[in-house]
Structure 1
């Protein structure tokens, strides 16, 4: 796994990215990475954000295709977790199974996805303290 920080577009937005290998074992690495980067958040908000990152990465590993990347985008009072994968299929809330996206929707302000010619990005926004 490779991590890198993307250049800031302004002083308010911070973007940090982590490449995710094609291995469910990397979910633990994503968990530790997000937990470390979000250590300044109150425990309840940090736990929610880390769980959302884990869930979106797990979905990308189980249902998506490489390459995969997770990003944390932050500015005061706002956090967005984005996960890219190379699968063109739309992410969907399933009626049965783990219910991951349904749970992500329940703890997020909003969530969604962008389709790209090379795959998709699934994202979730979380309110954080200013």
Structure 2
């Protein structure tokens, strides 16, 4: 089974945008706002995105959903940039658990956010601060 990196993103990564989510209803706003941050354009209903923005939005939605469902709010989603990569960093306030890749759950049972992130991003890792547990995923910059 693949392992998550246990380190923060590169320290020189600059924060481009930040979102705070209190409940699952905030996910729709996150998706639209993140798409606009990545492309400079509003996401219209039913519109398809380019591959990298679409994958970043997918991973953001999956990781934020997990954080909202299993973590302690608020969930903080940050979009970072470093060199030729974009980094998505999702934090919750539950320090009592560590992220685990679950490959034993049946399909459709949920809990696949980390596996999706591992499949579509360049790297995935996690780290804890004194107040948050963070999962991050990096993607190529256009």
Aligned twin of 1:33: 33
Kindly indicate which of the two structures has a greater share of residues assigned to strand: 1
Q: Secondary structure at the match of 1:29?
A: helix
Q: Could you state the TM-score of these two structures normalised by the residue count of structure 1?
A: 0.81
1:118 positional shift: 2.0
| Misfit runs of 4+, over 3 Å | none
Tell me the alpha carbon deviations over residues 18-77 of structure 1, each in whole angstroms, 9 at most, x when there is no partner.
1111x1111111111111101159711110111111111111011111132100002452
Gaps of 5+ in 1: 1-8
Query: After superposition, where does 1:102-117 map in structure 2 within 5 Å?
Result: 102-117=115-130
Q: Secondary structure at the match of 1:91?
A: coil
Query: After superposition, where does 1:80-91 map in structure 2 within 5 Å?
Result: 80-88=87-95, 89-91=97-99
| Contact 2:15-2:78 within 8 A present in 1 as well | no
Q: What count of residue pairs does the alignment treat as equivalent? A: 119
Gaps of 5+ in 2: 1-10, 42-48
| Contact 1:87-1:119 within 8 A present in 2 as well | yes
- When structure 1 is superposed on structure 2, of 84-93 and 94-103 the one drifting more is 94-103
Aligned twin of 2:74: 67
Cα pair distance change 1:13/1:86, threshold 3 Å: closer
RMSD of aligned Cα (Å): 2.2
Structure 2 Cα separation of the partners of residues 77 and 119 of structure 1? 26
Aligned twin of 1:92: 100
Q: Could you state the TM-score of these two structures normalised by the residue count of structure 2?
A: 0.75
Tell me the alpha carbon deviations over residues 103-130 of structure 1, each in whole angstroms, 9 at most, x when there is no partner.
110001111110223230111011122x
